[in-house]
Each structure stands twice: as structure tokens, then as C-alpha cells.
A and B are shown apart, each in its own frame.
Chain A
Amino acid sequence: MLNFLKQLPSVKEEEKQKLSEKLEKVVKIKNKMGLHVRPASYIAKLLQDSQSKVTLTYKGESVNARSIMSIMILAAPKNSQVHISVEGSDAGVTMKRLIGAFENQFGEKGLETV
């Protein structure tokens, strides 16, 4: 988590961007167990300070990324591809943080070694 926080641009930089925009990206799930409860709650927590509307789509099913219970229904396993859509005034920073979270395996990386 610390890693990606560091890479975040400051909020001021983001404010220069357009007021509202829609960003889309496909990411791969890298953590061992896929999008289970803990990653889902990690995402929901991360979105607490975001203003944007965030949707995750997997196998044609789209859910609100703020809902842990909806993300769980997707049952997206390791190595699957999830489509992220972010729409709102802070779409840029939200997307960056989300990608960071997927990259960082929702803080699960390295957990098994210790």
C-alpha cells in the first residue's frame, strides 16, 4: 500500500484536469485468491474519499465498486481480466489509485512469506 501511495500525484495536480471525465481500463488480477472479501473491502475503503462513480465489469456483469457484496458476486479469480470504469471529477486520481491497488495485490503481496 505504501508503495503506491508514494506514486500518487498530489491532489492539486489533479485539480488542473477536466472537471469530469470518464476513464476506462482493463486490469489483470494478480493476487493469489482473486477478488474475495478482503480485496473487495480494500477497494471499497479506497473509494471512500473518491467522488467518482466506479464500476467493475467481469464476464459481462457490472457492479458498483463501492459494494463489497456486489464485488464478491463477480467471483473474479486470479489472472482474470476486470474492466474498470471511473466517471467523475476525480476520475484520474481514482483510477490511478485503483490500478495501484490491483498492482499491489491489495496489500496481500508478501503476506505469505512471514
Chain B
Amino acid sequence: MTEALEETLLKGVPISEGVSIGKLFFLEDFPDDIIPEFPIQSSDVENEIARYRRAVLSSREDLHTLQRFLAKEGSNEAASIIDTHIQMLEDPFMTTFVEKKIRQMMKNTESVFRSVMTDYEKEFSKIKDSFFRQRLLDVKDLSSRILRHLYPRQQVTLSDLPDGVIIFTKELVPSLTAEASTTQVNGFITEMGGATSHAALIARSKGIPYVSNIDIKALCECEECDAVIDGDQGVIILNPSSETLDLYRDKQQQVKKTTQNAEQKECRTETLDGCELTLLANIESIADLDLVDHYGAHGVGLFRSEFLFFGKELLSFSEEEQYALYLKVMENSKGKPLTFRTFDVGGDKGNISRYEPEPNPALGCRGIRFLLRNRYIFVMQLRALMRVSLEGDLRILLPLISDVTELIEAKELIQEVAIDLRKEGYEIADEIPVGSMIEVPSAVIICDLIARECDFLSIGTNDLIQYTLATDRTHQDLHSFYKSSHPSIIRMIRHIGQEGIKADIPISLCGEMAADPLMIPLLLGLGVRSFSCAPRFLPTVREMAKRLTLAECQDQVDHILKLETCIEVEQYLLERYEKLISEIS
């Protein structure tokens, strides 16, 4: 089919770098002209307002889900943009003002909302500054989300599209860009949109090519055609000839190679005074393994295995299905250390619909507790995992250990599984290192006892902070209590570090704290030598470490340990950080 069509070149404006090839798909804006408008009775007013509140609430839920996805992806910029959208939902303009208007206008909610937003857009269009004008897209994005909940309508969304598509649409909104995964979306083409829009920022942070100023009408006839998007030059090539395709495939390969070369050199990380550090990646999918190389990690410090089955019933995965998946993981790990955390389900990582909801899931049957009570699931995972143990450098990490007994119980089970597998004729590695997550305060206090039973320890700061400070990290109003700078957390990490040295086993720190540039000097001074975080933060960690000396960090820790409050600690770290930055620039 493509043979018959002529190759066409369209020139636009480059917004986000990179080249890729894919099929074109059109995503329609929410057409607000189809929204009905009719008067309502005064007895309906409260119902209409309740309907509006529900739509706002559902929109908030959407955005929270999106934010969790972005947090996992490590897209901090995108997450902070979505955070402002969540905040805008609480804007008096979006809440009390719209409700007042419904009472005044006595019309159906969606028509009132649309008219309020149209007025707002009119006001906005008076702004001359183009940078500010682009921010209107954030508002439009949010208002069409609310409208979609008020007036549901069949519409093609990202989740309906196959992998590897190039999306074209009139104007790209931030949340759509944020929802796009790099495996699914190969590029964005729009008619309108500038380089400083939030959508552009997100596309760049995800590394998805984006070209704007293309006539969308011309493209509409070419839906599902093959196309090349060149985000470096701002060019779209429709129905590319085989020569053009070869040219661009070469270009893609070259980019891949040069980045790979650059990264291999980068793999080694040491401080200014020559202390070598290990940088590891926290990941949760097979596709993420590419990022391990891309960002020059020494290996995987945390593979969140439950995410391989996310949203699905764990029990429905047979040993063979798991085996096939883990085999793929091992093959793609290219012999680098791969720390596989066994299923950490329960708590905020729910998705085990079959099980009873708990009154307090964070303190309930999650992590190792769940595994030991549901041995069938645990054994199945262990068998599948150990069967791939000869395919790479596998390590097993046990989640939510709070007591030595459960650790011993789990280790005995691992031993039994190994014996059974050998009896059945499977070949497995002679030694598979087994480690504990240290993420419960009790585990910190007895970490000398836990260390005796383990080959390595991994400090999970996200949960450790939550449990130590009795603060739900997803609780919106408790942000100010959830602090990695809390003196208790600092002392805990120091204690674990000291016990690790005594037991002579490696300790890595995995959690958002490992990626915080402010915290890196502190962690180095506390004795942390292995950092595990979302791959895209590794360059930051590496850059910071290169500028620090261990001696200096240790001196800082001596001072920090004397401080009494989070604010003092943060203040001190910030001063140090600003000093460091000013020295560079």
C-alpha cells in the first residue's frame, strides 16, 4: 500500500529532539460544541452541583493515578506539572465560582462550566506575552478532563492505540503527554504549540520527538500511514521510501551507539578523593532494563517484581509464565547484578482484589507477611526465579522484614525450593545471595541480627520514613511531616551503616532519598556507598558525587548529627549545596 503513495515532506518547528518511525494516529480534542444546554428547575440545582463535585473528584482521582505512574517512571518534572493541575481543581474559580454560576444561570452543569471556561479563555487571550498564553493549555487540559466526566463520550484515548505510534492532534495538552509511555508513543505532531509549553517540557523529559506547526488537515487523510518524525530538524516525512527509512534507521542506530559509548565511560563513579561508588537502578519492567545501560548503572538495585503483573491477579500467573518473563529479564540484564525483590503486595501496593480489604493496609499483611501466608504464591515465584539463576547475576531481596523469625522462615523456604528443583533435575546456581529490605524501624534496631542472616541489606527509605515518622507518604496534608531530613532517619541510616561494616556485608540505599542532590553529601558521610534510584536520576547522583570529598562529607555529618530539627538539617544542607553550586558556576 505504501509503495503506491508518494513520499511527502512536511516542514514544521522542532520542539523535542530525536528521530523515530511509526504509524500515524489522530487524537481528537474533546469537542465542546456538542455539549447540550438547557434550563433546569430550582429543585435540580443541588443535584447539578453535586454532579459537578463528583466530576471534579473523579478528575482528581485521574490525576493522582497519573502522578503515581509518573513517580514510578521517575518523571519529576511531569509530576510537578500534574501537581499544579491537582491544585487548580481546588481553585476557588473551579469550585465556589462555578457552583455560584450554576445557581445563577439555572442551566445544566456542563453548559455552565463551558461558558465559565469560555469567558476565562477570552480573558486569557488578551495576554500578549506568548509564554503566559501557552499556560492556557494547562487550563484547557483540566477543563476538558472535567467535561469528559460531566459528559462522557466515546473517544479514542491513548490506551486504545497500539505500540510505536506517532500521534497527531491539534494541540498537545500536558496530561496526554504525561500519560504517554515511551514504548507506546514514538512521536507527537501538532498544529499549534510552542517550545516552552508544559507538553513540550514533558515530551523532552521523556525523550519523545515532537514537531509542531504542521497542518493537521493534510495529515488526517494519512491516518495509519507510515511516517518518519525528525524532531531535530522539525520535519515529518509521510510514506517514506525504503531509502528514506534506511537513512533514518541508521540515524537512530547512530544515536543509540554514541549514547551507549558515552555511558559506558560514565559507568564508573567516584568522589573527588577517589572513593568508588556503586550506582544501581530501581526498575519495574523489562523495558526499563534499557535504561540501566542508558544511564550507566552498575546493575539493578531493586526490581519491583510485582509490577510485572500489575493490575492482574498474581495467582493467575503460572510458574511457567513467570519463568518465561524472568528469563527475558535475565537475558536483558546482560550479566549485571540484578536484585529481584519478591512480590511486595498489600499496603499501598494493593491490587490483590481477591483478598479482604484491611482496615490499615500499611500496617497489615503486606510484603514478607503476605508471602509467608500465601506460600503457594511465594513458592511459585521462588521456583521461577531460581530456575533462571544461571542466566545472570541474580540476587533475591525480601520485602518488609520486621523480625528475624520471618527472615529465617523465608530462607528455609528458599532452601527447600532449591532442593526440590535440583531433585526435579533443574540446574540452579550454587549460591544465590539473599538480602533483606530494611524499611521497618524494628529491623533497623535489630539490624545486627538481621545482617547475620543476610548476604546484603537494602535500606528502603520511602517506607522507613513513613513508618518511623508515623506519616502516610501519600497523605496530602502531611507533607511537612514526611521528611528524610528528620534526625531520627539520619541516625537510623548511620546505625545500619555501622552494623553493615561490622557484619561485612554490602548495604545499598534505595528510595527517593538516594536521588536527592541535597542528601547525597549526607548519605556519603553516613557511609552509604551504593545508591539505588530511578535510572534517570543517576546522572545527578554521579555529578554530585564527583564534586564531593568523603572527608568533607564526614565532617558535615559530624555537624549534622548535632542538629535537632529537620529545618536546621535542611537549612545546613541547602547552604552547603548552594555553596557547591556557586563554586561550579
B87: CB under 8 A from chain A?
yes
Contact partner, A64, options B90, B92, B132, Cβ 8 Å:
B92
Please state if A110 and B581 are interface contacts (CB–CB under 8 Å): yes
Cβ-defined contact, A75 with B127, below 8 A: yes
Quote the shortest CB–CB distance from B155 to chain A (angstroms). 25
The answer for the CA separation of A68 and B136 in the assembled complex, in Å, is 12
Known contacts A6-B571, A110-B578, A114-B581: does B92 contact A37 (CB below 8 Å)?
A: no
Indicate whether B135 reaches chain A with its CB closer than 8 angstroms.
Answer: yes
B-contact 0/1 string along A34-76, CB 8 Å cutoff = 1011100100110000000000000000001011111011010
Enumerate chain B residues within 8 angstroms of A37, measured Cβ to Cβ.
81, 84, 135, 138, 198
B131 engages A3 (CB within 8 Å): no
| B55 at the binding interface (Cβ < 8 Å) | no
Chain A residues lying within 8 Å of B262, measured Cβ to Cβ, are none
Instruction: Mark each residue of chain B from 553 to 581: 1 if its CB lies under 8 Å from any CB of chain A, else 0.
Output: 00000000000000100110010001001
Whether A5 sits at the interface, judged by CB under 8 Å, is yes
Q: Do residues B132 and A114 form an inter-chain contact, with CB atoms below 8 A? A: no
Q: Is A88 an interface residue (CB 8 A)?
A: no
A100: Cβ under 8 A from any B Cβ? no
Let me know if A33 is at the binding interface, CB within 8 A. Answer: yes
10 CB < 8 A contacts A-B: A2-B567, A37-B81, A41-B84, A44-B90, A69-B91, A69-B120, A72-B124, A73-B120, A75-B132, A114-B581
Contact indicator B84/A38 (Cβ below 8 Å):
yes
Check B578–A44 contact: CB distance below 8 A.
no
The verdict on B139 contacting chain A, using a C-beta distance below 8 Å, is yes
The answer to whether B347 has its CB under 8 Å from any CB of chain A is no
Q: Please determine whether A72 and B578 come into contact, CB atoms closer than 8 angstroms.
A: no
Contacting residues of chain B (46-83) with chain A, CB-CB under 8 angstroms? 80-81, 83
Query: Which residue on chain A has the smallest CB distance to residue B485?
Result: A2
CA distance A6 to B485 in the complex (A): 15
- Which residue of the partner chain, among B87, B139, B571, contacts A2 with CB atoms under 8 Å? B571
**Distance of A41 Cα from B88 Cα, bound (Å):** 8
B42 beta carbon closer than 8 Å to chain A: no
Residues of A within 8 A of B585 (CB): 113
Q: Beyond A37-B138, A73-B123, is A68–B132 a contact (Cβ under 8 Å)?
A: no
A6-B567, A38-B80, A44-B87 given; A67·B135 CB < 8 A:
no
Name the residue on B nearest A69 (C-beta): B93
Closest 5 CB pairs of A and B: A75-B132, A75-B127, A41-B84, A69-B93, A2-B570
Partner of A69, one of B80, B88, B574: B88
One of B81, B131, B571 near A33 (C-beta < 8 A) = B131
Q: C-beta contact mask, A67-96 vs B, less than 8 Å → 1, else 0?
A: 111101101010000000000000000000
Q: Which residues of B contact A5 (CB under 8 A)?
A: 567
**Contacting pair A67 B92 (CB below 8 A):** yes
Complex contacts, B571 vs chain A, CB 8 Å: 2-3, 6
Task: Answer whether residue B584 sits at the interface, using C-beta atoms and an 8 A cutoff.
Answer: yes
- Residues of the B chain whose Cβ atoms lie less than 8 Å from the Cβ of A45: 87
B533 smallest CB distance to A (angstroms)? 15
Contacts of A77 in B (CB 8 A): 129, 132
Instruction: Label chain A's interface by main secondary structure.
Output: helix
A114 in contact with B517 (CB, 8 Å): yes
With both beta carbons as reference points, the residue of chain A lying nearest to B517 in the complex is identified as A114
B123 to A, closest residue via Cβ: A73
Distance of B60 from chain A, by nearest CB (Å):
15
* In the complex with contacts A6-B567, A36-B132, A114-B581, A69-B87 CB distance below 8 A: no
Q: Restricting to B265-313, which residues have a CB under 8 Å from any CB of A?
A: none
Take A2-B574, A38-B80 as given contacts and tell me if A66 and B92 are in contact as well, using a CB distance cutoff of 8 Å. Answer: yes
Bound CA–CA A66/B486 (angstroms): 30
Q: Name the CB-closest residue of A to B139.
A: A69
List of A residues within 8 angstroms of B83 by Cβ: 41
A68 interface neighbour in B84, B124, B543, Cβ under 8 Å: B84
Q: What residues on B are CB-neighbors of A34 within 8 Å? A: 129, 131-132
* Cβ of B94 under 8 Å from chain A: yes
Q: Are B91 and A113 in contact (CB under 8 A)?
A: no
Question: Are A75 and B129 interface neighbours, CB within 8 A?
Answer: yes
74-130 of chain B: CB within 8 A of chain A: 80-81, 83-84, 87-88, 90-94, 120, 123-124, 127-129
Does B87 lie within 8 Å of A68, measured CB to CB?
yes
Would you call B88 and A113 a contact (CB within 8 A)?
Answer: no
Q: Which chain A residues border B135 with CB–CB below 8 Å?
A: 36-37, 72
Please report which residues of chain A, range 4-28, place their CB below 8 angstroms from some CB of chain B when the two chains form the complex. 5-6
Min distance, Cβ A87 to any Cβ of chain B, angstroms: 16
| Given A3-B571, A44-B87, 4 additional A-B pairs, CB 8 A | A41-B83, A44-B91, A110-B578, A114-B517
* Chain A: CB-nearest residue to B129: A75
A114 CB contacts on chain B under 8 angstroms: 517, 540, 543, 581
CB distance from A10 to the nearest CB of B (A): 12
Q: Which residues of A contact B87 (CB under 8 A)?
A: 41, 44-45, 68
- Which residues on A sit within 8 Å (CB–CB) of B92? 64, 66-67
> Min CB distance, A71 to chain B, in Å?
10
- Tell me the nearest residue of chain A to B132, going by C-beta: A75
| Contact residues in B for A66 (Cβ distance below 8 Å) | 91-92
Residues from chain A with Cβ under 8 Å of B567 in the complex: 2, 5-6
Contact call A68/B570, Cβ cutoff below 8 A? no
